[in-house]
Every structure is written in C-alpha cells, then in structure tokens.
Amino acid sequence: MSTDSSIRILFVDDNKLILDGLRRQFRRARPEWDTRFAESGREALAILEQYPADVVVSDMKMPVMSGAELLKSVKDKWPSMHRVILSGQTDQSCLLEHIGAIHRYLQKPCDAGQIISSIEQSLRLRNNLLSAQLESTIACIESLPVMNSVYSDLVDAINNEVSNIDSVASIVAKDPGLSVKVMQLVNSAFFCLPSRISTITDAVHRIGLRNLKTMAVTIRLFDSLDTGDLRNNSLSSIWSACAEIGARAEALAKAHKQSSDVCTQANMAGLLTLIGRAVLSSIEPDRMLLAISKAETESIPLYQAELDVFGASHNTVGAYALGIWAFDDILSDAVLWQADPFIRMNVDIGHPAIYVHAARSLQTPSKLVEPIRFNESGLVSAGFDMRFLRDLEKAA
C-alpha cells in the first residue's frame, strides 16, 4: 500500500496524443504521483506485472482488448486495484457485460481535474484500513449479496408483464445492498445523466426495467443468497435497522425545515449507516460471528471488536466502500462519523451527518447494532433542537 503522496496510476489509451496530454497535465497538477502510460490492454497488463498500481484508468474503446475487458483482467489478477473506465454513450452494451469489474465510470470528454477528483475520492480513506487483505476484499466486491426473499420478488416482478416500475422500485428499496448498487450505477457516467439521482424510485425509473432485468437475470450482477444461508438473517436485521435510522434522520431534517435535498441525503445516509457491517457480515461471516462473541464476552462495543478482529470498524469499511463506489463525500462522511460527527468535522445544521448521528442514537440495540450516545453539546452548538430528538425518543 502506497502513501497518499506516492499514488501509483496507470493510464491506458490507444491514442498516443491523449496519453501525451495526460502526461503533461498530471506532471503539472500532481507531480508527486507515480504515473505510467500504456497504449493497449496487453501493454498495460505487462506493465502491471512489473509495476503494480493503485488505480488503473482506461479508455473503453481500444482494439483487441477493450477497456472493460482489461479491467476484468485487472480485477482477477490484482483485486485491490481501483478500476476506472472512460466511456462514451455508445459503449453501454459492452460496459453492461463487464459491469462488475468497474468501480467508477467517467464520461468522455474528461479533463485531468475530473480524473484527479475521482481518484482522490476513491482513495481518501484507504490508509484507515489496517489490513491489506481487507482492502483487497472490499475492492473486489461487485455488489452486496441480496436477501433471498427480495431477489425472488424482484425477478418475479421483472418477469411479470403487468408489473409497473414503481412496484419494482419498492422491492429494490427493501434491500439497501441492492439499492446501493442501483444508486451507484445510475449516478455514474454509464447512464450519462445531467444531474445526480438521490432516491431509489427515481433511480429505478432512470435505469428502466429492461436494463434492470439484464443486470438481475442475464448477467446476475446482484448475488442472491441461498434460502438457508444464515446471512439472510444478519442482513435482514442490519437492513431493518438502517431503514429505521434513515426514516428518523429524514424526519429530523424535515422537523428542522431543511431543504428537500438535505432531507433526502439524511434518509440515504441513514440507510447506509451500517453498510460496512453488512459488508463484513457478507464477506467474512465467521469472523463477524467472532467479533460479536468478543463484544459480548468482553462487554465492549461491537465496533471495537470489529477493529480488533478485522483491523477496521464497520463505519470505516462502509465509508471506504462508498468512496470506491463513487458516492458523494457528504454521504460517506455521515457514515464514517455517525458515532460523533463533531470529533473531526466542522458541520452545521444543513449537514446530513447531524441527523444521522441523532437518529443513530435512538436505534434499539441488538447483537448487530451497538448503542451510541448523542453528543448533545455538539448538536446544540450546531443549532439542533433537542426537543425533536426527545419527541422521537418517546415515540420509539
């Protein structure tokens, strides 16, 4: 793992003039970065054998080996590398075939500033992960496993000619893991939308039933758990808590007369609050059980047990994964600092992290959801009205 000052980037494009332009721009903008350049997929793989990279940025359309095919090979050989594709609107069919191998999509034409911003966002929390193996595992995730009952309902609805898109959206919304993938895709350059989509319903409308069917049935982008898989129970418990946190966070934002954007962000950030715990429970279920047992035996918070067992707690894992998947920093920050956003962040009443923190403090503790105490002085200083929190607490 390299330090932030020596980020290693490999750019791949069959157009030498474009590579020369990137070389000049990055030499000026980020001279401390270790940048290398390849004119084909095969040359890129040969370079990576000798000089591993932190990020591979590839053009989509190239002869012999497309950018999507290259990134699929990169994922298979070096799963911890972050993978970015530069694509045009005409590339969607090939992109869809290899969609699981791509972390980020950038729409062409794309300048150096956009690429730099994307790279820095995806890598900004990497050094918080104490385990290189954990970093690699998270980077390799195509999508979180979907609860068996939700996946079955989704496929039935998609294959039913009388189903409407709103009913399909309501099914997607039942599983935040599924929702995360849908939101990641709809807000990427893959769909070339002029503005970000912030609700599940709008996301499913934009993707459309045909594309959703291709993802769910044809290429099986969404990994469904078997009926008897015990992770169904864990994910059900986690997602149920997330739904409650999201609803309360949105209610608190509305009570403070925040804009519709802030209210929507509060709901989405709340829905993502425990995404890191879902990741750990999905990819390392036995170690997650060990962490739960450790928390109970030693009477310590589950996040502390996660830190001991995995080398990172769920909030760090969740924020890091959201960064890789190109979610807004404002959402990943709310996830990262959910226990107390006032420790490291300068937040005001318009930041969704405030409402997520308050809503998280109201959540009923369970084996998978440890209690947290709200920072009353921080909330009050930010302009938060504690009466709204106490009203929700009484209703909980």
| Nearest in space to 179 (alpha carbons), one of 188, 189, 169 | 169
pLDDT of 226 > 90? The answer is no
pLDDT in the model for residue 20 = 94
Give the pLDDT confidence of 291-300 residue by residue, as tens digits.
999 999 999 9
Kindly report which listed range (41-50, 110-119, 121-130) carries the lowest average pLDDT score.
121-130
| Burial degree of 329 (CB within 10 A; 0-12, 13-18, 19+) | middle
Q: Strand order of the sheet with strand 82-87?
A: 34-38, 8-12, 55-59, 82-87, 104-107
56 membership: H or E segment, kind and range:
strand 55-59
- Range list for CATH 1.10.3210.10 in the chain: 231-395
- Range list for CATH 3.40.50.2300 in the chain: 4-123
Under the banding of pLDDT at 50, 70 and 90, the label for residue 315 is very high
Question: Between 386 and 131, whose confidence is greater?
Answer: 386
The CATH number corresponding to 231-395 among 2.30.30.40, 1.10.3720.10, 1.10.3210.10, 3.40.50.720 equals: 1.10.3210.10
Which two structure tokens, joined as six digits, stand for 229?
């898989």
* Cβ proximity of 112 and 294 under 8 Å: no
pLDDT in the model for residue 2 = 46
Cβ within 8 Å of residue 50, ≥6 positions away: none
The CATH number corresponding to 4-123 among 3.30.980.10, 3.40.50.2300, 1.20.120.330, 1.10.3720.10 equals: 3.40.50.2300
| Beta-carbon count within 10 A of 162 CB | 6
Distance of alpha carbon 12 from alpha carbon 27, whole angstroms: 16
Give the pLDDT confidence of 124-172 residue by residue, as tens digits.
877 776 567 777 778 777 777 888 888 899 989 988 888 889 999 999 9
Under the banding of pLDDT at 50, 70 and 90, the label for residue 213 is confident
Alpha helices in the chain (DSSP H): 16-29, 41-50, 67-77, 92-97, 112-123, 132-140, 148-159, 165-172, 176-186, 200-213, 231-255, 260-271, 275-283, 285-298, 302-310, 314-324, 329-336, 352-361, 376-381, 386-395
SS3 366: strand
Q: Which amino acid is at 29?
A: A
SS3 59: strand
Query: Residues 64-83: what's their mean pLDDT?
Result: 92
Distance of alpha carbon 8 from alpha carbon 59, whole angstroms: 18
Query: Residues 330-349: what's their mean pLDDT?
Result: 92
- Can you give the pTM of this predicted structure? 0.83
**Strands 8-12 and 55-59, bridge-based pairing:** parallel
| Beta-carbon count within 10 A of 206 CB | 15
